């Protein structure tokens, strides 16, 4: 061992051709960390290109921005509910009693130079983070990128979205202003509605009766330590799996299920993705410069007996707000106990709304029984039932968002709040069904259009008059590449339960699960669920008969 | 649900699309009109063939990076130059803090230009030739799988966990019990509820103190149609438990025409048409505060529960489940409004033990 090292050392000395400094540093690191084998697999890793693939990047970068600005804010924020009299730079609040949390947030906004900017970047980035995760999740959903082998990564992403919601909620509750305190009160009221243990949970969370002196400090450790810690872990796992699985790509010439076509990480995606971080950060900084978000100084410190109108949560909590606003106030009093269904039912539906979309991939894979790996992203139209389910879910979510802002809809559009509330109550059940039916039909229509295009070519808009006077529109045949792209998607055949008896006349046992799957499968892949894509025979037949045009 | 995991006679490979991947990828089948033609030839950009154009791109990127540097200098200059309390008017943003605007815009430009430069560099000067990576199957090869399974079995066998049941069972017991310590440690997060939610700071003889003037209220202070907020005498803003007490004790007082009061108990508990209700909404606890004097309706701005103050604060609309509790009031010998006791039911949101 030592001789080998010496030999190498002396060889280097003799030749006086030392490796460049960068290489020597890399050698040093490789000897300890094994970076070369890591880099071999990843440095020139190929990533495919599509605009929708950057949605997840927006989420990733806003998360990083939130952490950077969040660390800065912890340097100035005092997570304490001690009551103090304010004597800072914001004169309208002089002499007012408030918690230290609120006072220090005022200080960040008015005494610390740049503090307001960082606060606003932090808040804007949080709103954008959640929005980006939402649309990223929808991109993955509608292209079927959640299919094997990516189901686990779908669940990781879903958990990130849910944890992001709660991190956001605990975060905007920290300044202890009138609006955020009202949100916390709402949460306390919801916890109280839990049968049997509600009052205990509330007492333990708040260290006694609401609001008490503890919740800001407790939310603080949840907001800056517990939840972001878990999220960071999930995020790293999410990214490792993206690298490990390699990115999905859309069908196209040369793009197969067994390969990935695109540009290498070094240098193209280093520059593009790295640059994109700065673009996102720059845009958020500019937004924060120009548009005020959460002006806590305009709201005043929290008092449980005061409230402002237009009390709205941040957008990602809006659907839960909608649930609580439109639910009828049912209360059942029996045997000296109260079952607060009017609050408890929304509290139960709240996670179910989210779980509905999280579970879908597993339902689909149960219906198709497809155990193969899928790396080609579907066009949404080619999976009408899935697309319709996703659109119905979005409709459901947005109906609830409307419910959460029913007062804003009423005041901005001069509508009756009662009418809006009743609309949401009905639409909660009806809208998803209507949207499901319409979306499926639209998808089928688009499939038909693709079929037409493949068989008859592209409509050029050029009208030609034939010698005998007939007018025809000239159809331009598609290129091989287009033909391939439009026919590359797979089509399943519906599962049949089969005959009720086997060949010997003995009754076959068909489980309920099998029957259900057969019905679902028919709905997915039967005549009503997809348009058969053109076959080569159909294509050639039309080719030969139209050939003389 | 054996069908979920076990083999299923109803689902065969026939139901899955026949061809996947390779069948589409093979260019060999010339007779297939839909066959994959393979990657199209690379088309050169102008920068790839014209050094002049490439030079122009280089200068553009350098210019964008230079802008970023200037913006950072601008950021530092703004930090030093603008006083923190300077407000300026900028169309269309309105009146806005100068420092925040200057810092944000310079930082935004500095960051954005780094990104824009890098992306422009990548798009115009870095190779845009598409490359192909083969995918590896995620599922392990059968040999690897066999090896892992047999290694695991060997390890499990050597541990004798399955054979020495006494060890296994006591270990499970120990590991299952130990988290209990953590649960027990959480006990002192807060006190038990007991009857805390049933009592407020109101007591017989407590005067009703106007929340705005801090003076005890007399009947003549309260005009018909007005809405007055009150707290119990003795509860002061700087008290340590003020927030927690006011969260339950906050009171809302209105004067109605006694003839308008429909609810008999409400009339009994009123004084010359003056009625006092809890201000805390019975839905999830927001302060109810929007009063419509013509209809005697009061509305919670959070979730729009609407109560009829002339009819025992009955719920007219919205998600609240029961009326606002009323406080029995009268006038003491000095002519001040006083409570006849605490609320006779818990105020605020309903809970399991409320009954």
Query: What pLDDT is recorded for position A502?
Result: 73
Element (H, E) at B317: strand B314-317
Backbone angle region of A483, left / alpha / beta, with phi > 0 → left and psi within -120 to 50 → alpha? alpha
Query: What pLDDT is recorded for position A2?
Result: 46
Which residue from A246, A284, A338 is facing B354, i.e. has the nearest CB? A338
What would the two tokens of residue B183 be? 């649960």
Flag whether pLDDT at A280 surpasses 80: yes
Nearest CA in chain B to A366: B4
Flag whether pLDDT at A300 surpasses 60: yes
Query: What pLDDT is recorded for position B21?
Result: 43
For chain B, give the percent of residues with pLDDT over 90: 74
Query: What pLDDT is recorded for position B6?
Result: 38
Query: What pLDDT is recorded for position A3?
Result: 47
Complex confidence, ipTM = 0.90
Query: What pLDDT is recorded for position A548?
Result: 46
Domain ranges of chain A: 2-42, 56-355, 379-489+508-549
Label residue B226 by pLDDT band (50, 70, 90): confident
Which residue from A113, A258, A518 is facing B22, i.e. has the nearest CB? A258
Q: Which residues, 6+ apart, have CB-to-CB distance to A399 below 8 Å? A: A322, A424, A427, A428, A431
Query: What pLDDT is recorded for position B16?
Result: 65
Query: What pLDDT is recorded for position A1?
Result: 41
Strands B297-299 and B87-90: unpaired
Label residue A27 by pLDDT band (50, 70, 90): very high
Flag whether pLDDT at B20 surpasses 80: no
Q: Which of A186, A189, A200, A276 is most worth mutating to test chain B (most B CB atoms within 10 A of its CB)?
A: A189
Query: What pLDDT is recorded for position A545?
Result: 76
Is B284 close to A370, i.e. CB distance below 8 A?
no
- Using the CB atoms, write b or e for A72-103: b if 16+ within 10 Å: bbeeebbbbbebbebeeebeebeebbbbbbbb
Angle of helix A198-206 versus helix A178-192 axis, rounded to 10: 150
Tell me the residues of chain A between 3 and 32 that have a Cβ less than 8 Å away from chain B.
Answer: none
Flag whether pLDDT at B208 surpasses 60: yes
Q: B81 CA to chain A: closest CA distance, Å? A: 11
Q: B171 CA to chain A: closest CA distance, Å? A: 29
Query: What pLDDT is recorded for position A16?
Result: 60
Flag whether pLDDT at A324 surpasses 70: yes
pLDDT digits (tens, 9 = 90+) for A170-191: 999 999 999 999 999 999 999 9
Q: What whole-number distance in Å separates Cα of residue B337 and Cα of residue A74?
A: 48
Query: What pLDDT is recorded for position A544?
Result: 81
- Which residues in chain A are closer than 8 Å to B139, comparing Cβ atoms? 373
Q: What whole-number distance in Å separates Cα of residue B282 and Cα of residue B278?
A: 9
pLDDT digits (tens, 9 = 90+) for B153-166: 999 999 988 889 99
CATH number assigned to the domain covering A56-355: 1.20.810.10
Flag whether pLDDT at A137 surpasses 70: yes
Q: Please, what is the average pLDDT of chain B?
A: 89
Backbone angle region of B312, left / alpha / beta, with phi > 0 → left and psi within -120 to 50 → alpha? left
pLDDT digits (tens, 9 = 90+) for B67-93: 999 999 999 999 999 999 999 999 899
Flag whether pLDDT at B34 surpasses 60: yes
Query: What pLDDT is recorded for position B79?
Result: 97
Label residue B28 by pLDDT band (50, 70, 90): very low
- Residue B267, Cβ neighbours under 10 Å: how many? 16
Q: Cα B308 vs. chain centroid, distance in angstroms?
A: 31
Flag whether pLDDT at B199 surpasses 80: yes
Q: Please, what is the average pLDDT of chain A?
A: 92
Label residue B238 by pLDDT band (50, 70, 90): confident
Q: What whole-number distance in Å separates Cα of residue B101 and Cα of residue B94?
A: 12
Place of tokens 């296994």: B168
Query: What pLDDT is recorded for position B14?
Result: 57
Average pLDDT of the segment spanning A467-471: 92
Flag whether pLDDT at B13 surpasses 90: no
Q: Cα A284 vs. chain centroid, distance in angstroms?
A: 19
A497 touches chain B (CB under 8 A): yes
Average pLDDT of the segment spanning A522-548: 83
- Which residues in chain B are closer than 8 Å to A149, comparing Cβ atoms? 138
Say what the alpha-carbon torsion angle B314, B316, B320, B326 is, to the nearest 10 degrees.
Answer: -20
Q: Which residues, 6+ apart, have CB-to-CB distance to B340 below 8 Å? A: B204, B269, B327, B328, B329, B330
Is B119 close to A275, i.e. CB distance below 8 A?
yes
Nearest CA in chain A to B89: A290
> How many helices, marked H, and strands, marked E, lie in chain A?
21, 10
What would the two tokens of residue A171 be? 């975060």
Average pLDDT of the segment spanning B162-175: 93
Label residue A17 by pLDDT band (50, 70, 90): confident
- Which residues in chain A are closer than 8 Å to B196, comparing Cβ atoms? 203, 208-209
Q: Report the DSSP beta bridge partners of residue A473.
A: A463
Flag whether pLDDT at B342 surpasses 90: yes
Label residue B24 by pLDDT band (50, 70, 90): very low
Q: B340 CA to chain A: closest CA distance, Å? A: 22
Query: What pLDDT is recorded for position A134?
Result: 97
Strands A46-47 and A259-264: antiparallel
Flag whether pLDDT at B3 surpasses 70: no
Is A261 close to B131, i.e. CB distance below 8 A?
yes
Average pLDDT of the segment spanning B320-347: 94
Flag whether pLDDT at A123 surpasses 90: yes
- Residue A373, Cβ neighbours under 10 Å: how many? 18
Q: What whole-number distance in Å separates Cα of residue B86 and Cα of residue A432?
A: 51
DSSP letters of A477-500? PPPHHHHHHHH-S----PPP---S
Query: What pLDDT is recorded for position A164?
Result: 97
Flag whether pLDDT at B174 surpasses 90: yes
Element (H, E) at A236: helix A227-245
pLDDT digits (tens, 9 = 90+) for A379-422: 999 999 999 999 999 999 999 999 999 888 988 999 998 899 99
> How many helices, marked H, and strands, marked E, lie in chain B?
10, 14
Q: Indicate the range of A14-28, A422-436, B315-329 predicted with least confidence.
A: A14-28
Query: What pLDDT is recorded for position A543?
Result: 79
Is A246 close to B133, i.e. CB distance below 8 A?
yes
Average pLDDT of the segment spanning B217-244: 90
Is A340 close to B351, i.e. CB distance below 8 A?
yes
Contact pairs from chain A to chain B, CB under 8 Å: 399
């Amino acid at each position: 061992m030592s001789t080998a090292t010496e030999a190498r050392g002396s060889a280097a000395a003799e030749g006086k051709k030392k490796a460049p400094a960068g290489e020597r540093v890399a050698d040093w690191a490789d000897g300890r960390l094994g970076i070369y084998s890591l880099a071999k697999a990843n440095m020139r890793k190929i990533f495919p290109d599509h605009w929708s693939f950057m949605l997840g990047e927006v989420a990733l970068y806003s998360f990083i921005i939130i952490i950077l600005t969040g660390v800065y804010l912890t340097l100035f924020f005092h997570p304490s509910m001690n009551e103090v009299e304010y004597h800072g730079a914001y004169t309208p609040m002089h002499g007012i009693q408030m918690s230290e949390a609120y006072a220090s947030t005022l200080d960040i906004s008015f005494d610390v130079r740049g503090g307001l900017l960082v606060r606003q970047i932090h808040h804007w980035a949080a709103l954008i983070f959640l929005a980006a995760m939402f649309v990223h999740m929808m991109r993955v959903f509608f292209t079927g990128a959640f299919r094997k082998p990516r189901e686990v990564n779908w669940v990781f992403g879903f958990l990130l979205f849910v944890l992001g919601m709660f991190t956001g909620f605990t975060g905007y509750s920290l300044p202890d202003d009138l609006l955020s305190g009202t949100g916390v009160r709402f949460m306390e009221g919801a916890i109280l509605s839990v049968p049997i243990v509600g009052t205990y949970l509330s007492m333990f969370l708040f260290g006694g009766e609401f609001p008490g002196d503890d919740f800001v400090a407790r939310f603080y450790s949840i907001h800056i330590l517990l939840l972001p810690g878990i999220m960071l872990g999930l995020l790293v796992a999410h990214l490792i799996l993206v690298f490990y699985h390699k990115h999905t790509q859309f069908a196209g010439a040369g793009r197969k299920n067994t390969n990935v076509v695109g540009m290498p990480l070094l240098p193209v995606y280093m520059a593009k993705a790295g640059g994109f971080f700065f673009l996102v950060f720059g845009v958020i900084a500019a937004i924060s410069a120009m548009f005020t978000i959460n002006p806590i100084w305009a709201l005043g410190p929290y008092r449980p007996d005061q409230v402002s109108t237009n009390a709205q949560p941040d957008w990602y909590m809006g659907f839960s707000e909608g649930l609580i606003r439109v639910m009828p106030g049912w209360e059942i009093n029996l045997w000296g106990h109260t079952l607060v269904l009017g609050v408890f039912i929304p509290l139960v539906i709240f996670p179910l709304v989210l779980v509905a979309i999280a579970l879908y991939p597993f339902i689909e894979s149960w219906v198709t029984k497809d155990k193969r790996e899928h790396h080609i992203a579907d066009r949404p139209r080619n999976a009408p039932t899935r697309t319709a389910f996703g659109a119905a879910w979005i409709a459901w979510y947005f109906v609830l968002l409307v419910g959460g802002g029913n007062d804003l809809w009423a005041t901005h559009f001069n509508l009756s709040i009662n009418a809006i509330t009743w609309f949401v109550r009905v639409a909660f059940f009806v809208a998803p069904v209507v949207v499901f039916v319409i979306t499926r039909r639209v998808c089928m229509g688009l499939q038909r259009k693709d079929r037409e295009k493949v068989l008859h070519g592209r409509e050029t808009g050029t009208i030609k008059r034939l010698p005998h006077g007939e007018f025809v529109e000239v159809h331009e045949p598609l290129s091989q590449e287009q033909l391939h792209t439009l026919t590359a998607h797979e089509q399943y055949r519906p599962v049949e339960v089969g005959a009720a008896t086997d060949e010997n006349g003995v009754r076959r046992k068909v489980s309920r699960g099998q029957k259900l799957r057969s019905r679902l499968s028919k709905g997915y892949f039967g005549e009503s669920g997809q348009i058969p894509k053109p076959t080569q025979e159909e294509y050639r037949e039309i080719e030969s008969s139209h050939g003389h045009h | 649900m054996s069908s979920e995991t076990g083999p299923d006679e109803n689902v065969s490979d026939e139901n899955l699309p026949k061809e996947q991947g390779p069948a589409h990828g093979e260019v060999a089948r010339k007779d297939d009109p839909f066959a994959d033609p393979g990657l199209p030839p690379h088309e050169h950009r102008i920068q790839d063939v014209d050094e002049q154009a490439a030079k122009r791109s280089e200068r553009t990127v350098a210019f964008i990076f230079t802008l970023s540097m200037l913006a950072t200098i601008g950021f530092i200059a703004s930090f030093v130059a603008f006083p923190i309390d300077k407000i300026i008017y900028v169309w269309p943003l309105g009146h806005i803090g100068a420092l925040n605007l200057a810092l944000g815009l310079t930082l935004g430009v500095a960051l954005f230009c780094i990104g824009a430069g890098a992306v422009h560099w990548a798009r115009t000067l870095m190779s845009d030739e598409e490359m192909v990576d083969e995918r590896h199957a995620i599922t392990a090869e059968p040999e690897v799988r066999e090896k892992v399974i047999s290694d695991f079995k060997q390890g499990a066998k050597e541990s004798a966990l399955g054979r020495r049941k006494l060890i296994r069972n006591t270990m499970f017991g120990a590991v299952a019990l130990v988290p209990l310590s953590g649960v027990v440690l959480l006990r002192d997060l807060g006190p038990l509820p007991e009857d805390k939610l049933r009592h407020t700071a109101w007591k017989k003889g407590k005067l009703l103190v106007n929340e705005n003037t801090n003076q005890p209220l007399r009947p003549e202070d309260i005009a018909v149609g007005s809405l007055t907020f009150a707290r119990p005498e003795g509860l002061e803003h700087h008290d340590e438990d003020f927030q927690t007490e006011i969260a339950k004790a906050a009171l809302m007082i209105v004067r109605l025409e006694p003839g308008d009061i429909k609810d008999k108990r409400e009339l009994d508990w009123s004084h010359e048409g003056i009625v006092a209700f809890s201000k805390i909404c019975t839905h999830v606890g927001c302060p109810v505060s929007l009063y419509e004097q013509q209809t005697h309706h009061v509305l919670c701005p959070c979730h729009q529960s609407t109560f009829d103050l002339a009819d025992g604060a009955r719920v007219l609309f919205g998600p609240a489940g029961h009326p606002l509790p009323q406080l029995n009031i009268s006038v003491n010998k000095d002519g001040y409004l006083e409570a006849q006791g605490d609320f006779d039911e818990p105020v605020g949101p309903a809970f399991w033990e409320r009954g």
